[in-house]
Amino acid sequence: MAYDLTDKVVLITGASSGIGRACAIEFHRAGAKVVAAARSLDKLEDLAGEIGGDRIAAVRLDVTDASEREAAIAFARERFGRIDVLINNAGWASFASVEKMPDEHLDRMLALNLAAPVRMTQAVLPKMLERRSGQIINISSVVGNQAIPRMTVYSSTKAALTSFSTGLRMELRRTGVDVIMVAPGSTNTPFFETAASVDVNAVRVAKTQYTPQRVARAVVKSSRRRRPEVTLTADGKAITIMRRFSHRLADFAMYHFAKYGMQSKH
């Protein structure tokens, strides 16, 4: 049965930019009530103003901070009564070889890309289980399916998020709560400028970039169709399928893909 998004309450992390921002617009367009969360409240308020009406609300949320998570979830429940869909979207990358990866970058990626989605899920899940209805949507990445060199740690956090989605889906079988993993490929957002560049320049890694709007439409479609896993972009799909047949071939392809798309600083 399709998931009807009309009047569903959707909490989106990292909604101030890129894919999260586009998801806020597309889920609102699909009839949902949207709680847009991120650290940049000014950008969220601009977004709420742009969307307009009373089915959009903005809340400050640093997903790595326990008290902010609690406050944002309480805000969403006060404002709209419940949370039907959680989209774990906030994320960040450090472009660095493993050898050069600073401790604080490792800690930040683990906290933001992995621990925060787990903790957000733990916070919203009990009430979804009570209602026997809801969705947890995790925005992972193609590089969670096949790691890319010099984004090895970032890839590892996304592989862990993908694995978290798979395990959680099995735990929640027949509970009425869906778990959906969306793996975008290279997408045209500020992600590459916001990323840290340690020993490699974070240049765009694909010619065939999706727009964030296209990714957001795919997320809405996955939600409606309750699709457990979706991989996006032609390159992303190709490398994911390739890996099923030959790890060596997938390594070779991703190595050259990275070589073309990233520049060493030395």
Ligand X SMILES: NC(=O)c1ccc[n+]([C@@H]2O[C@H](COP(=O)([O-])OP(=O)(O)OC[C@H]3O[C@@H](n4cnc5c(N)ncnc54)[C@H](OP(=O)(O)O)[C@@H]3O)[C@@H](O)[C@H]2O)c1
- Closer to ligand X at the Cβ: 182 or 242? 182
Token digits for 174?
A: 């027949």
CB 113 within 8 A of CB 156: no
Residue 3 bears catalytic tag: no
The answer to whether 40 contacts ligand X (rule: CB under 6 A) is yes
CA–CA dist 53, 226 (Å, integer): 28
- Single-letter code of the amino acid located at 37: A
Applying CB under 6 A, what is the total number of residues that bind ligand X?
Answer: 29
Work out which of 9, 11, 17, 257 binds ligand X, going by CB under 6 A: 17
- Closer to ligand X at the Cβ: 175 or 188? 188
The answer to whether 191 contacts ligand X (rule: CB under 6 A) is yes
> Which position among 154, 210, 255, 260 bears the catalytic label?
154
**What is the Cβ-side half-sphere exposure of residue 143, based on CA atoms within 13 angstroms?**
23
Q: By three-state DSSP, how is residue 181 classified?
A: strand
The answer to whether 38 contacts ligand X (rule: CB under 6 A) is yes
CA–CA dist 206, 210 (Å, integer): 10
Q: Per-residue x/- mask for ligand X, residues 104 to 143, rule CB under 6 A?
A: --------x--------------------------x-x--
Work out which of 29, 39, 82, 127 binds ligand X, going by CB under 6 A: 39
Closest distance between ligand X and the C-beta of residue 152, in Å?
A: 14
**Where does residue 35 rank: exposed (0-12), middle (13-18), buried (19+ CB within 10 A)?**
buried
CA–CA dist 143, 147 (Å, integer): 5
- Closer to ligand X at the Cβ: 14 or 134? 14
Angle at the Cα of 187 from the Cα atoms of 185 and 188, rounded to 5 degrees = 165
**What is the Cβ-side half-sphere exposure of residue 91, based on CA atoms within 13 angstroms?**
27
Q: By three-state DSSP, how is residue 257 classified?
A: helix
- Closer to ligand X at the Cβ: 40 or 133? 40
The answer to whether 152 contacts ligand X (rule: CB under 6 A) is no
The answer to whether 91 contacts ligand X (rule: CB under 6 A) is yes
The answer to whether 89 contacts ligand X (rule: CB under 6 A) is yes
- How many residues are there in the chain? 266
- Closer to ligand X at the Cβ: 68 or 133? 68
Task: Summarize as ranges the residues that interact with ligand X (CB under 6 A).
Answer: 13-14, 16-20, 38-40, 61-64, 89-92, 112, 139, 141, 184, 186-187, 189-191, 194, 212
